[in-house]
A = this chain, B = another copy of it.
Amino acid sequence: MIKKGNESWFRMLFIWRGSVLPKLLPRLILLLLLSIGIVFFKGTLFNYKVPLNPTPFTLFGIALALFLGFRNNASYDRFWEARKLWGALLNDTRSLVRQSITLTSYSAQSEEVISFVRYLTALVYALKHQLRNTDASADLQQRLPQELAARINATLYKPIMILKELGCWIKEAKLQGKMDSIQQTAMDENLNKLSDIIGGCERLASTPIPYTYSILLHRTVYLYCLMLPFGFVDSLGWFTPLVVVFIAYTFVALEAIADEIEDPFGTEANDLALNAMSISIETTLLEMVEQPLPLQPTSKNNIID
């Protein structure tokens, strides 16, 4: 995620960071050169004057903008749903920590409560690693008893296996007379919510927007931009390359951003800062049980991962 700065409206026009411009530059320069060539040859290909004019481009450009709008909406909804799920992860783990103190007869600094908090943080890190396809073993070993960490690490669906252990912790507390079954089911209700959160993230990660949509729009946007200079060469003359690159920049950039945030758990600049969020959750959970806090995340070039 890119941190929002406090730039004035004027400085925002020339900002480099957070823009997709660097990534798209090669393609736009290609288009620029092509447009210049087309203007130079006055829109003829091998002595054949290409008979395009702005009318079909107006019609089709607006249609294309509508379809891009649809794609943007769908991608942004995915991004925002992913963010909501990680927000719910924060809320729900906080609720569980509070309940482990107030619905049981354990005290806030007891061995058991602290171990419960460690399980929760391990779950959060395991989920992050699952969504990013990275190795969870180091983070698990730091937060779980060694034997358990090894056992969890060997499974396919690690966060859910840790969730089961949380359920067992509660069952144990009940067996030891630290809570009754009413309090147990109240905590279990929050485990259900955790299950929904984990599954919701898996759903977003495993099911993209139907691939055919992406292909179709990608193709249409690029083909449209390619044909654009032929349509405007007669009326705009040497301004054609500038206008074409300006229009193409907006269309291609929107398509690129939509493609980037469609999979919000990745590590591209506009993706969610799963790393920073994991540390935040760990911080607030440990603060609730008055334990030393972890190091806060730092941003590089205003980008937090």
Could you tell me which A residues sit within 8 Å of B by CB distance? 1-4, 9, 12-13, 15, 18-20, 27, 50-67, 69-70, 72-74, 76, 79, 83-84, 87-88, 90-92, 94-95, 98-99, 101-103, 155-157, 160-161, 163-164, 167-168, 170-171, 180-186, 188-192, 195-196, 198-200, 202-203, 207-216, 218-220, 222-223, 227, 232, 235-239, 243, 246-247, 249-251, 253-254, 256-257, 260-261, 269-270, 272, 283-284, 287-288, 293
Q: Which 3 A-B pairs have the closest CB atoms?
A: A102-B167, A91-B199, A63-B65
Chain A to chain B contacts (Cβ below 8 Å), 9 pairs: A20-B216, A58-B58, A94-B195, A98-B195, A101-B171, A102-B171, A156-B283, A156-B284, A216-B254
Q: Note all chain B residues with C-beta closer than 8 A to A219.
A: 12-13
Q: Note all chain B residues with C-beta closer than 8 A to A18.
A: 211-212, 215
| Shortest Cβ distance from A200 into B: residue | B87
* Number of copies of this protein chain within its complex: 5
Expressed in whole angstroms, the Cα–Cα distance for A257 and B18 within the complex equals: 21
* CB-CB under 8 A for A161 and B288, given A2-B210, A102-B167, A170-B102: yes
A213→B257 contact, CB < 8 A: yes
Given contacts A18-B211, A102-B170, 8 further A-B pairs with CB under 8 A are A55-B58, A69-B70, A101-B164, A103-B184, A103-B188, A161-B287, A212-B269, A220-B249
* CB-CB under 8 A for A184 and B183, given A18-B211, A210-B2: yes
A90→B199 contact, CB < 8 A: yes
Q: Note all chain B residues with C-beta closer than 8 A to A239.
A: 50-52
